[in-house]
Structure 1
């Protein structure tokens, strides 16, 4: 049965999904910045070669370090059975282990967990599903799993570690030895210049930078030019001044469609930003 959750319960259920994962952990989030509690949970699983972790992140194709912190990659890359994949169009958030899943508005980002108003739809394997051997508890589970499985297939694999084993007793017994590593992500993160996070606090005064309302990358603050060059060229195709965009030009936080070319700044930030409006 699906369950609507929010607030502290949302954070608790997200942590539980990580904690109870023993065979499978799927993480789909445009932004990755691990909360201290999530880090603590994952530390205990670093030696579990049977736990397959799949991470899909996105956004910021010009500088992916704005979507995936190098420190978090350094922590995650040592897991023996892990894939990290990239999809530039990603906006969805989904977290699942072998027994439950969470469809959510919340990024796997400590700022989101601590500050934002977020929600989630939690599903779990039912007793009926366990008795029949069917992983999926209902149609929602099945459709969500298949959808994100396809998202993973269509995304670009930037890092992968595949466990290797020594076999004995005619293949009946296996012992983990090491993992084969394929790595493109290290070079990409090392070559990316870490710029301002789109979740930076909005309290800074007299700042001269803003954020592209379509990509979230840092640009000069100018409410009449709230796009980076690439996003502006895309916008020029239709020149729709009311088209819903993704970020606040002043703070860089997600706007959930409440910003546009004609209104590039979230209403709650208008008072702080108006002294800089050109």
Structure 2
């Protein structure tokens, strides 16, 4: 069943949640002013090429804080207007709390929260309901870009390869094999559709064309986050790709 957290335990459990996160880490908090310990945890995760999504709601952000976060290649910053919720989750653990990702709040305020475990049968329904709300916030948040308080992202539509063949696809006939930028699996070479159908179904939940991916669509080599739906081919391979009549 959900576990009650006071201020000290909320901070401790949040540190463990970030440290133990595998593929998923989403941090939802209006304010961002991270302590030294939290910055070190995010830096460590970033060094492992693991993606962290941070959703915030206040534009009055410390410039040094934003500079630090924007310097982490695998941290995605998103803005949601009027956000007041505070929720932190990884693959199997979630904390819903009054605690902000704000150093003053952690050190001076009296906070409370609950810890929810996905694998605990008494928590599983609550975890899924809260996860759906986080997914809704994430999907309706706007990608934060340098020099802009708000910016939007664009959704693209993909179809199964057998469902549509247009003139652009037909022109890409000198290279038949490409690679899914998320899984590395072989797919037809087409920079307009650099995801396998299955990977696209997952990507399309949020539709973020700048979301860092793992492989180069042209060569299949690991890209370490330097590829995305917008830029599916590593920069060093652009000239080679252009040789196959691909407009980049």
TM-score range, shorter chain: 0.5 to 0.7
Question: Superposition pairs for residues 46-57 of structure 1, below 5 Å?
Answer: 46-49=46-49, 51-57=50-56
Aligned equivalent of 1:123: 116
Deviation per CA, 1:61-108, whole angstroms, max 9, x where unpaired?
xxx1x2x32222222223333321111211110001112010010110
CA contact (8 A) 1:81 1:163 kept: no
Distance 1:85 1:92, change over 3 A: same
Aligned equivalent of 1:14: 14
Aligned equivalent of 1:165: 215
Deviation per CA, 1:136-182, whole angstroms, max 9, x where unpaired?
951110011100110111121124551342479x96xx523452589
CA contact (8 A) 1:81 1:179 kept: no
1:146 corresponds to 2:132? yes
TM-score normalised by L of structure 2? 0.60
Aligned equivalent of 1:96: 89
Deviation per CA, 1:28-67, whole angstroms, max 9, x where unpaired?
1000000111112222122222x221111113xxxx1x2x
CA contact (8 A) 1:5 1:120 kept: yes
CA contact (8 A) 2:46 2:75 kept: no
SS of equivalent to 1:26: strand
Distance 1:85 1:104, change over 3 A: same
CA contact (8 A) 1:31 1:107 kept: yes
How far apart, in 2, do the equivalents of 1:100 and 1:11 lie?
Answer: 14
How far apart, in 1, do the equivalents of 2:10 and 2:63 lie?
Answer: 26
How far apart, in 1, do the equivalents of 2:57 and 2:119 lie?
Answer: 32
Gaps of 5+ in 2: 146-209, 230-248
> How many pairs align?
165
How far apart, in 2, do the equivalents of 1:178 and 1:162 lie?
Answer: 4
Provide runs of 4+ in structure 1 moved above 4 Å. Answer: none
Distance 1:147 1:127, change over 3 A: closer
SS of equivalent to 1:30: coil
CA contact (8 A) 2:215 2:227 kept: no
